[in-house]
Amino acid sequence: MNFKRNAAVLGVVAIGAMTLAACGSDNNSASGGTTVNSAASTATCEGKEALSAAGSSAQKNAMDAFTSTYIAVCKDKGHSVKLAYNPSGSGDGRTQFIAKQIDFAGSDSAIKGDQAAAAKARCAGNDAWNLPLVFGPIAIAYNLDGVDNLTLGGETLAKIFNGGIKKWNDPAIAALNSGVSLPDEAIVPIVRSDSSGTTDNFQQYLTTASKGAWTQGAGSDFVGGVGEGAKGSAGVSQAVAGAPGSITYVEKSFADQNKLKAAKIDNGSGAVALTGDAASKAIAGAKFKNENSGDLALDLNSIFGSTEAGAYPLVLATYEIVCSKGYDADTTAAVKSFLTSAANEGQADLAAQGYVPLPGTVKDKLNASISAIG
């Protein structure tokens, strides 16, 4: 899964300490050009200077933005800080976290099962918490000449991607697109040929939203049984750009980069276009598996199955996996400080990078969990 991947996706993202200026100001400019009100930040900038993290490449650009902002905040508060984030993949991040090689992990899915038990041992007998910090929408991108306004739903998408619907003018699609002239043309599904968190989330969405039309299950490998494969988010989006009649699921930033049209989704309450506000509305209605716990692993069905008017339900979440307790005092302070900044002023730049800033309901719960660490 990757909201916005670059060629250095497997390299270490290391952002060095910035030197404290002799005369500080309450307003600093982060490296991305955003003005940061350091006085308003509740990040303490205390604890050890250098944090390390690894994992999800999907959140790599978000971590860049968070770190740049955090450095600016701490510079003005008289602290020099660093964060090295290696976007080596979710599985590797969880493995390194369990092995105590990094301070926290980024992951496209919550830690669970045997890994959660191993993480508890790593955290000195305390639970590891899943904190959803970065969200990004998936576009249903298509290439259909003359059709600029297309609506699909969970059931029609399931049947397109498992071969139940083969033509663009199928009556089920036509019923969602009154007044639209749909061609008598074969649908060409383009799917990820590599293992992908995007595929897993898309198939989980189909399982939840298709009214039983998707029975193939989920997982990081595509299991629909139809379609042409392409590697990576760049691969599927470029394939659709060059193939009339094609359709894929891909992160919004890639659809935008390739100038692809994105279908609206009718979740049962009318067609909803993919916008930041519409995705944020679906996220705001999210429920958590343990509502009264500091662990904020999401009940994804509450997002994927949303029928709220104006909510775009096909949204990805990525987590930071941290020790609820069990760090040494300096690491505890640094982890809490960085995450506090990321969950608040760090969200300001995310929309421009293809992510969805945290809605207030999620931000409040996240801040409460961060405060409870240690």
Question: Domains (ranges, CATH) in the chain?
Answer: 13-137+289-298+317-372 (3.40.190.10), 138-280 (3.40.190.10)
Does the annotation flag 90 for ligand binding? Answer: yes
Q: What is the mean pLDDT of the chain?
A: 89
Give the range with max mean pLDDT: 18-22, 250-254, 290-294, 327-331: 327-331
Does the annotation flag 371 for ligand binding? Answer: no
72-129: pLDDT as tens digits: 999 999 999 999 999 988 889 999 999 999 999 999 889 999 999 999 999 999 999 9
pLDDT of residue 287: 94
Q: Is the pLDDT of residue 68 over 70?
A: yes
Q: Where are the alpha helices (DSSP H) in the chain?
A: 60-76, 90-98, 113-122, 154-161, 171-175, 197-209, 232-241, 252-257, 276-284, 301-304, 329-343, 360-372
Does the annotation flag 197 for ligand binding? Answer: yes
pLDDT of residue 37: 74
Over range 357-364, report the average pLDDT: 94
Does the annotation flag 195 for ligand binding? Answer: no
Q: Taking a C-beta distance cutoff of 8 angstroms, is the pair 237, 141 a contact?
A: yes
Q: Is the pLDDT of residue 146 over 80?
A: yes
Does the annotation flag 306 for ligand binding? Answer: no
268-283: pLDDT as tens digits: 999 999 999 999 999 9
Q: Taking a C-beta distance cutoff of 8 angstroms, is the pair 157, 262 a contact?
A: no
Q: What's the full length of the chain, in residues? A: 374
Does the annotation flag 332 for ligand binding? Answer: no
HSE-up of residue 10 (Cα within 13 Å, Cβ side): 1
Does the annotation flag 57 for ligand binding? Answer: yes
2-43: pLDDT as tens digits: 444 433 333 333 333 332 232 233 333 344 445 677 778 999
Using alpha carbons, select from 198, 217, 195 the residue that is nearest to residue 206: 217
190-236: pLDDT as tens digits: 999 988 888 989 999 999 999 999 999 998 899 999 999 999 888 99
Q: Which residues of 89-120 are buried (b: 16+ CB within 10 A; e: fewer)?
A: bbbbbbbbbbeeebbbbbbbbbbeeebbebbb
Over range 142-159, report the average pLDDT: 97
Q: Is the pLDDT of residue 346 over 80?
A: yes
pLDDT of residue 34: 53
Does the annotation flag 263 for ligand binding? Answer: no
pLDDT of residue 2: 47
